Structures are given as structure tokens and as C-alpha cells.
Amino acid sequence: MEESIGSTWTRPTRYVVGIGLAIFGVFLLFISNSVIPLLVVAGLLAFTVRPVISLLHERLRLPYGLVVGLTYLVVLLLLPLAALILLSAIGQALAFVFNLDYERAIDGFTNAVQGWMEGLKAWEIPFGPLDTYVDAIADAVLVALNGASQVAQPEIPPLADLAEQLGSALTVTFGAMAGLVGNIFSSAILLIFVFLSAIYFTLSAARYRDAMVAALPKPYQPEVVALLRRVGHVWVAFFRGQITLMIIIGGVVWLGLTLLGVPGALSLAIIAGLLEVVPNLGPVVATIPAVIVALLQGSTYLPVNNVVLALIVIIFYVIVQQLENSLIVPRVLGEAVELPPLVVMTGVLVGGSVAGILGALLATPVIATGREVLRYLYRKLLGEPPFPPEQLDPVAHRQDVKEQTPIPAPSGAGSDASAATPVEGG
């Protein structure tokens, strides 16, 4: 009998090699940490356009590579247009905030507070010590307001100083412009890298996924395919839900602020819609500019003062957020991404501290993905089926069954008991 060439590694050897490969993988991640965010963005782009590519490939019966190229070409052409529309909307919102008549609004607010304090002093409180205490507080507020209104205006500097400052400003401006050109060039290179990586992911993702699944033991393949399907469902639900939430919340905020007569309702609605990308914290941040506008500008037709309008705006935003959390989010995102608010807020803070803006924006789907993986591992540890039978991949399941089904012996031949026993899956 011819002996087989080679030898089987002992268990300590396999452990040493496995640990060495793990250390080498961590080292690769460490030295490529600056590229990982770009690859993540490329993967998200590929994941986003995948449904469109699949739909066009099935409906138009065009070659898959051609559909991928045409889709990314359209995305590349639409990207500047989308950026222009987004920057225009943000510019309008910022212009509205900067063009507010802050001096007149602050004077009106100061006069209103002075009137309240004078009315508070004129109010006779039966309890003497309390009346004295309230009068002292009102006097302190009035003194502070009068002192703020009597601040001296700054003197105009001499013309020579202005010319010197102008020269320094021009030098700084030219330096900033040179840096801006360099940043634009670097950004263009990074954008090309992201697009090429996304195209590669789109063309090769299925092949690598199938290769990864095929490398696993046969009994585990249906479970891994089902797990990948559930993880994909989490990300699809997240992106679809975020776009839907941005549109719904932006429309509701625009309608509510318009009915309240708050100036710049459209700009504030755009801010509220864009901040929906930050779960739980975004709506709170979106409330701040609306309250500031209500305090400074007041309503265009409601007969209420600015402070009352600001309180109404706060109540309106709280109601919108409660309706969003209780009605809109469960229907839009579903159970795939449904997480407790405390978990989401903690994840946003941790993700922001670890991976910046990208980590904060993707904290929710990452946590939901981890939940699916931990749920799978927990059920396997308990010896329970991780998924219902109907969720297992039918192709992989049939292949698994085919591998385990005994081959019947030929007619007239004795059957081998060992061959008739199926191999148990782990």
C-alpha cells in the first residue's frame, strides 16, 4: 500500500499557526486603519445599489457587468447634482439663521423680560420675606439687562492698521486656497478609490460569499446562509427606513412649523430631516435651532409672545419624537433594527468616539448585526436550533440532505450498515 505524502499537523501546531494568523490579521487591520473607513463607505455604496442592479439585470436581461457599469456611471453623474441640492438646502438654512435680525430680536426679548421683572416687582406677595426675595431677584435681573444695553461700542481702528490687517488676511486667504486645492485633489483620488472598490465589491461579493460558505463544514452551511440573510435584512431595513424617516419627519416638521407661523419652516424642516441620520440624538439637536428662531423672531400670525411660542415649539418637537418612536419607527424599520433607545444612544456615543461620524451614523445597524450574531451563538451554545427550518437556505439545505442521504445498495447485494448511517450534523 502506497503511503500518502505529507503529514497531519499536531494539535499544538495547529494552535500555534492559528494564533499566528490571528495576530497577523490584527496587524494588517492596524496598518490599514486609514483605508478601512473608505472600504466601509465603498461597501455601503455597493450594498445600496445592489437592489437596483439586481432589478435591472432581471428585467432588462442585460449582462451583469454592463448593468453594474451603467449603474455606477449614473450614480457618478447624479452625485454632484445631489451634493449641489444638499449644499444648497444647507446654505439656505444657514443663510436664514445668519440673516436673522438678532439686534432687534434681542432688544424685543430684553424689553419683554424687563416688563416681566417690573410686573413681578409690582406684584404684592402676602409673605414679606418672600416678597423681598422676589424683588431682589427682579432688581438683579434689571441691573444686568441695563448694564448689557449700555456696553460701549468698539472704536474704529486707524486706516493703517486696517491695511496691515487686510494684508495679513490676504496672505492667510491665499494659503487657505492652496490648501483647499490640495484637499480637493486628495478628495477626488479618494472618491475614485471608493467607486472602484464599490464596483469590485459589487462584482465579487457573491463569489466571495459563496466561497466562504463553501469553506465551512456542510452541516453548518444552511445556518450561515440564513445568518447572512438576516444580517442583510438588518442593513436593508436600516437604509430604507432612514430615507423614509427623513422624508416623513421633514414633512411633518415643515407642516407643524408652518401652522405655528415660525419663520424659515422649510429650512428648519430640512435640518430636522437631515439629523434623522443620528438616531435619538438627532431629533433633540434639531429642536435647538427651531427654539432659537421662535425666541428671536416669534410667530408671523399667532397672537403669542416669543417665549410662549418657543415653549409650543418644544412641545411640538417632543410630540413628533414620541410619535416617531412609538408609531413610525416600528412600522418603517420593523423588528430587524428595533433597539432600546438607551442602547442606541450609547452605541452612537461609543461609535462616534471610536470611528468618528461614520461610527455614529452606523452604530444602529452594527448593534443590530451584533445582536443577530450573538443570538445565533447563544442558541448554538444551548443546543437549540438557531433558526426555524423555513429560514434555512433551501439550496444549501438540499445539498446538505443529499450529502447525508444513504445510497441504497444494488439489487441483490448486501447492505453495509455503516454506509446506511447518515452523518450527524454539528
Name all contacts of 32-40 with Cβ < 8 Å and 24+ positions apart.
Answer: 37/355, 37/356, 37/358, 38/190, 38/193, 38/194, 38/197, 39/197, 40/358, 40/362
Half-sphere CA count of 149, side-chain side, radius 13 A: 14
- Let me know if residue 128 belongs to a domain: yes
The predicted pLDDT at position 394 comes to 52
Residue 200 parent element (H or E): helix 159-214
| pLDDT, tens only, 203-213 | 887 787 888 88
C-alpha span between 43 and 32 (Å, rounded) = 16
Question: How big is the chain by its Cα radius of gyration, in Å?
Answer: 32
Single-letter amino acid, residue 405: T
The predicted pLDDT at position 423 comes to 40
Q: What is the pLDDT along the chain (426 residues), one digit of tens a residue?
A: 454 555 678 888 888 888 998 898 888 888 877 788 888 888 888 888 887 888 888 888 888 888 888 888 888 888 777 777 777 766 766 676 666 666 666 666 677 777 777 777 777 666 666 667 666 777 777 777 666 554 444 454 555 555 566 666 666 666 666 666 777 777 778 888 888 888 888 888 778 788 888 888 888 888 888 888 888 888 888 888 888 888 999 999 999 999 999 888 888 898 888 888 877 778 888 898 888 888 877 888 888 888 888 899 999 999 998 888 878 777 776 666 777 778 888 888 888 888 777 788 888 888 888 988 998 888 888 888 877 776 665 544 444 434 333 444 444 444 444 444 444 443
The angle subtended at Cα 277 by Cα 276 and Cα 278, nearest 5°, is 85
Q: Decide if 344 contacts 364 (C-beta within 8 A).
A: yes
| pLDDT, tens only, 319-332 | 998 888 878 777 77
C-alpha span between 146 and 36 (Å, rounded) = 56
Q: Decide if 275 contacts 361 (C-beta within 8 A).
A: no
> For residue 96, how many other CB atoms are within 10 A of its CB?
17
The predicted pLDDT at position 404 comes to 39
- Let me know if residue 329 belongs to a domain: no
- Let me know if residue 65 belongs to a domain: yes
The predicted pLDDT at position 77 comes to 83
Domain count, the chain: 1
The predicted pLDDT at position 28 comes to 86
The predicted pLDDT at position 413 comes to 43
- Let me know if residue 384 belongs to a domain: no
**Domain that residue 123 falls in:** 38-150+183-215
- Let me know if residue 126 belongs to a domain: yes
The predicted pLDDT at position 256 comes to 93
> For residue 224, how many other CB atoms are within 10 A of its CB?
18
- Let me know if residue 245 belongs to a domain: no
The predicted pLDDT at position 101 comes to 63
The predicted pLDDT at position 112 comes to 72
- Let me know if residue 43 belongs to a domain: yes
DSSP 415: P
The predicted pLDDT at position 152 comes to 45
This model's pTM is above 0.75: no
Question: DSSP H helical segments within 150-158, as ranges?
Answer: none
- Let me know if residue 220 belongs to a domain: no
Tell me which residue of 255, 174, 235 sits closest to 369, measured CA to CA. 235
